[in-house]
Structure 1
Amino acid sequence: MAAAQGRLSDGAGGMDERKDTGEEAPHTGTTAPPVFSAAVEALRTARLRPQIEVEATRAPQRLAPYAYALEAAVVEDGEDLADGRLVLLHDPAGHDAWRGTFRLVTLVRAELEPEMAADPLLPDVCWSWLTGALQARGLLYGEPSGTVTRASSHYFGELSTRPSASQIEIRASWTPREGRGGVVDTAAHLASWCDLLAQVAGLPPAGPGDASVVTLPQRRGPQSR
């Protein structure tokens, strides 16, 4: 599975400029708090739609005392249609910018058809997919922030035989609201994130009643990532 690469923001203006090198508790050798362990276990055992392949990856070190990361790819007929990374951060002391003790940070990307990439409303639509995916599952969250970037590549010289390519990239973070005992429903947030991945990949809605959801058209054929 091709993992999404790039820097992740913690929503507080800080960036982890190194490759993922952390563990679940990157800054300490102590046992993780029970609420964080429960949140991680929920991520590990969540049931997701079969086209999405998810696996644990090493988490960034500098964003919070405790972190856990997943990478995922939407795969259909052997082709990666979209990929991304989701990081769960936890600071037991709380974080002023987060307005909470947990934060979810994501990077999602997919290749686009040129006509879709030219749509001036595309960034707004992609951001609405993120917030809509959370709202569709009734999840409470706060302090959302992020960017939507589209880029085009054109090849010349010895690479001129390659077709032009366009890509959309969503970087975002939000604070999941905690329930009783400080517990966060991370499984539901993961499912919402996978809904976003599926939309970006152009997959049809998974559940009944979602026919009005607009998705990116699937790519016509394999493209280099």
Structure 2
Amino acid sequence: MAAAQGRLSDGADDTDDTAGDEAPLPFRQAVEALRTARLRPEMEIDPTRPPQRLAPFAYALEAAVVADGEDLTDGRLVLLHDPQGHDAWKGTFRLVTLVRAELEPEMAADPLLPEVCWSWLTGAFEARGVEYGEASGTVTLAGSHYFGGLADRAPATQIEIRASWTPREGTGGVPDTAAHLAAWCELLCQIGGLPPANGSDGGVVSLPQRRGPQSR
């Protein structure tokens, strides 16, 4: 990715036209908070083209966790905004994410792994005092075994988290999107096997994986 580690690229305006001057002020402020957020140095993050039909206004980021030159986890975060509100969201903003990482085969055998990974998402919010609601999502494990010309490749297991939640709106109807982004990045780092940013594990265990996604 082209972005400097730990900070969003300054080229966001070249990727998305829904955050321009015609967008509502709360949405523009929420996007600006994402663009200026300071993140962990292991994060490489860039704007990407958002989906066009989920909401009147949208902004998207793609990210990777990179340590020692190796991609450990990747993901996508989309900020949606509907000024008229949305019954299912119970608000005017919604955050949607996809996170992927490749696991060591023995880790995938843990029957509690999906519950643990989901708790990391909610735990990251709680650790930062981030207010949210209406969270929903899935945790999926997919195994691959290779045959024929690919038989020399080791079996691989990928975990995929799809989730969405409503960030609570603060002053002026604007959610603290920078805090939500930081919590989301902490989830990516934790799935990538990195310790919490504050250096204290707080009793939380990270996955001991060291292999990144096979394809981006």
Provide TM-score, normalisation by structure 1: 0.86
The answer (yes or no) to whether the contact 1:126–1:148 under 8 Å persists in 2 is: yes
Deviation at 1:181, TM superposition (A): 1.3
**Aligned-CA RMSD value:** 1.8
Aligned equivalent of 1:157:
148
Structure 1 residues 199, 130: CA separation in 2 closer, same or farther (over 3 Å shift)? same
Q: Distance in 2 between matches of 1:206 and 1:181?
A: 30
Aligned equivalent of 1:95:
86
Spell out, residue by residue over 1:155-199, the C-alpha distance to the aligned partner (whole angstroms, 9 max, x if none). 001110111100100000000000121011000000000010001
Aligned equivalent of 1:31:
22
Matched, 1:131 2:122: yes
Q: Distance in 1 between matches of 2:213 and 2:81?
A: 37
Instruction: Say which of 194, 204, 224 aligns to 2:214.
Output: 224
The answer (yes or no) to whether the contact 2:101–2:213 under 8 Å persists in 1 is: no
> What are the residue-to-residue correspondences of 1:55-74 with 2, within 5 Å?
55-74=46-65
Spell out, residue by residue over 1:67-114, the C-alpha distance to the aligned partner (whole angstroms, 9 max, x if none). 000000000111100000000000000000000000000000100011
Aligned equivalent of 1:84:
75
Spell out, residue by residue over 1:4-38, the C-alpha distance to the aligned partner (whole angstroms, 9 max, x if none). xxxxxxxxxxxxxxxxxx83429xx9701111000
The answer (yes or no) to whether the contact 1:24–1:67 under 8 Å persists in 2 is: no
Q: Which amino acid aligns with 1:147?
A: T
Aligned equivalent of 1:14:
none
Q: Which amino acid aligns with 2:158?
A: Q
The answer (yes or no) to whether the contact 1:153–1:164 under 8 Å persists in 2 is: yes
The answer (yes or no) to whether the contact 1:81–1:201 under 8 Å persists in 2 is: yes
**Residue-pair matches, total:** 203
The answer (yes or no) to whether the contact 1:153–1:165 under 8 Å persists in 2 is: yes
Q: Distance in 1 between matches of 2:212 and 2:161?
A: 21
Instruction: Say which of 133, 147, 167 aligns to 1:176.
Output: 167
Aligned equivalent of 1:114:
105
Q: Distance in 1 between matches of 2:113 and 2:77?
A: 22
Aligned equivalent of 2:12:
none
Q: Secondary structure at the match of 1:173?
A: strand
Structure 1 residues 179, 223: CA separation in 2 closer, same or farther (over 3 Å shift)? closer
Q: Distance in 2 between matches of 1:23 and 1:78?
A: 29
Provide TM-score, normalisation by structure 2: 0.89
The answer (yes or no) to whether the contact 1:25–1:66 under 8 Å persists in 2 is: yes
Q: Distance in 2 between matches of 1:181 and 1:169?
A: 35
The answer (yes or no) to whether the contact 2:74–2:213 under 8 Å persists in 1 is: no
* Structure 2 unaligned spans of 5+: 3-14
* Structure 1 unaligned spans of 5+: 3-21
Q: Secondary structure at the match of 2:96?
A: strand
Q: Distance in 2 between matches of 1:112 and 1:68?
A: 29
The answer (yes or no) to whether the contact 1:111–1:166 under 8 Å persists in 2 is: yes
Q: Secondary structure at the match of 1:60?
A: coil
